[in-house]
Amino acid sequence: MPVARRIAFIAGILMLLALVGTYLALQQTGMLGTLVDGAALRERIEDLGMWGPLAIVALMVLAVLVSPIPSAPIAMAAGAAYGHTWGTLYVVTGAEAGALAAFGIARMLGQAALQRWFGERLSAGLIGSQNALTGVVFISRLLPFISFDLVSYAAGLTLLSVWRFALATLAGIIPASFLLAHFGREMSNGEAGRFMYTALGLGLITGIPVALKLLRDRMGRRR
- pLDDT digits 0-9 by tens, 169-180: 999 999 889 888
Reported confidence tier of residue 192, pLDDT bands at 50, 70, 90 = very low
Question: How many domains is the chain partitioned into structurally?
Answer: 1
pLDDT (0 to 100) of residue 180: 85
pLDDT (0 to 100) of residue 127: 46
Q: What is the pTM of this model?
A: 0.73
The answer to whether the beta carbons of residues 59 and 95 sit under 8 Å apart is no
Query: Which residue range is the domain that position 38 belongs to?
Result: 3-222
Cβ neighbours around 104 below 10 Å, total: 17
Q: How far apart are CA 178 and CA 197, in angstroms?
A: 14
**pLDDT higher than 50, residue 165:** yes
- pLDDT digits 0-9 by tens, 39-70: 778 888 888 888 999 999 999 998 898 877 88
**pLDDT higher than 50, residue 153:** yes
CA 221 from centroid of its chain's CA atoms: 32
Q: How far apart are CA 15 and CA 124, in angstroms?
A: 31
Lowest model confidence (mean pLDDT) among 47-51, 74-78, 139-143, 203-207: 203-207
Average of pLDDT values for 89-101?
95
In 30-129, which residue ranges form alpha helices assigned H by DSSP? Answer: 31-35, 38-47, 52-65, 72-106, 112-118, 120-126
Average of pLDDT values for 101-113?
78
